[in-house]
Amino acid sequence: MVGLRVSGVTKRYGETPVLRGIDFEMSEGSIVALLGSSGSGKTTLLRLIAGFADPDEGTIHIGDRQVAGPGAYVPTEKRHVGYVPQEGALFPHLTVGQNVAFGLQYGRRDRLRIEEVLRITGLTGFEDRYPHQLSGGQQQRTALARALAPRPNVVLLDEPFNALDLDLRRHMAADVASALRNAGATAILVTHDPFEAFASADRIAAMVHGRIAQIDDPASLYQDPLNPRIARLTGPVIFMDAIIEGEMAQTPLGPIAAVLRDGVQNGPAQVMIRPEQLTVSADGSGPRGTVSRVIFNGDHYLASVEIDGLTLPVRVPGKVLPETGGTVALAVRGSCVAFPVGRRGR
């Protein structure tokens, strides 16, 4: 069953277009991450779904009910939407239990429901604490519990982990996703951190210049992006010049099996691989490069290897110390993705 459907939605602020025809839908009980850089339109789309602003064109349905668009407008308080802002926005003078109860209607503050959402969000035993007595992660879980308490049709999370340290942010993303799934909630998470999106979402919508450039499961989006901009958006990437011959790319690192994007034919192309695909060849065969720098990263060394005008980051196991100025043979695991020439950064 469809939990949310957005069709042909546009939004402008003055003469500036922010959303340029957004189309997507998500099934009930699923989690979608809106992934994009600042200014891509993520928060604007979330605000339209919540009812904080109106679309200029298009429609929004929550379940089978149209809540925005021509001939229909449902105010925010009647959309049954739970909203978790960046800073949590807890009431400092209320306890955890009282903050959660605030999300329920007066006269319907069911003690059992409060206990249930505290359990789902891992806050059992914290009911009588005040926000200043909580860690940053506990404060965000309290904000989530408050949003879940009234059993909303959709939960919207607007970069809720920005104030947390990187490691805690990604850990919290996984914890919150688990809580949302335990609650059976349909949820949208706005983020600019691909690893946060990978940890939490069933599908990721990559937003570029007010459009959804690709929506897919996390692994497919990372391994098989539709264009170079999505590739960069989803994590570290290496681009190389290549010559396509059939289903193979002839590259400075040797021949690599290629996934061809639209417009790619035999001849020149730009190909991408991920840094983790690069390894030092176990048998010493393969193209050789010069080690220009070595950084110790705990369980591995990160070696910068110069080859054919490229500087490539190569992970080397922690017990094998590459020698600066020495040479190593490289190998590539898996396939590359080939794009038309001239689309490297677009």
Edge-to-edge strands, sheet with 154-158: 81-84, 154-158, 187-191, 31-35, 203-208, 211-216
Tokens coding 330: 């490289």
Angle at 93 between CA 120 and CA 130, to 5 degrees: 45
Q: Which helix (H) or strand (E) segment is 22 a member of?
A: strand 16-27
User: What CATH number is given for 236-339 in this structure?
Assistant: 2.40.50.140
Residue 227: CB partners within 8 Å, gap ≥ 6? 213, 214, 261, 339, 343, 346
8 A C-beta contact, residue 193 and residue 171: no
Q: Would you state the pLDDT for residue 109?
A: 61
8 A C-beta contact, residue 292 and residue 304: yes
Residue 39: CB partners within 8 Å, gap ≥ 6? none
Tell me which CATH homologous superfamily contains domain 2-232.
P-loop containing nucleotide triphosphate hydrolases (3.40.50.300)
d(CA 68, CA 296): 54
DSSP string, 255-301: EEEEEEPTT--SEEEEEEE-GGGEEE-TTS-S-EEEEEEEEE-SSEE
The dihedral region occupied by 101, where left means phi > 0, alpha psi between -120 and 50, and beta the remainder, is alpha
Sign of the alpha-carbon torsion through 240, 256, 305, 290: negative
Question: In the chain, count of helices (H) and strands (E)?
Answer: 8, 21
Residue 258: CB partners within 8 Å, gap ≥ 6? 242, 244, 247, 248, 249, 269, 271, 335, 336, 337, 338
pTM: 0.89
Alpha-carbon distances, residue 50 vs 44, 189, 202 (angstroms): 10, 13, 21
Identify the segments of the chain with pLDDT beneath 50. 107, 344-346
Residue with tokens 């939490």: 200
Sign of the alpha-carbon torsion through 238, 244, 248, 250: negative
The CA radius of gyration of the chain, in Å to the nearest whole number, is 24
Q: Would you state the pLDDT for residue 106?
A: 55
2-232 and 236-339 agree in CATH topology = no
**pLDDT tens string 52-61:** 999 999 999 9
Q: Would you state the pLDDT for residue 68?
A: 96
Q: Would you state the pLDDT for residue 108?
A: 54
* Domain-wise residue ranges, the chain: 2-232, 236-339
8 A C-beta contact, residue 40 and residue 214: no
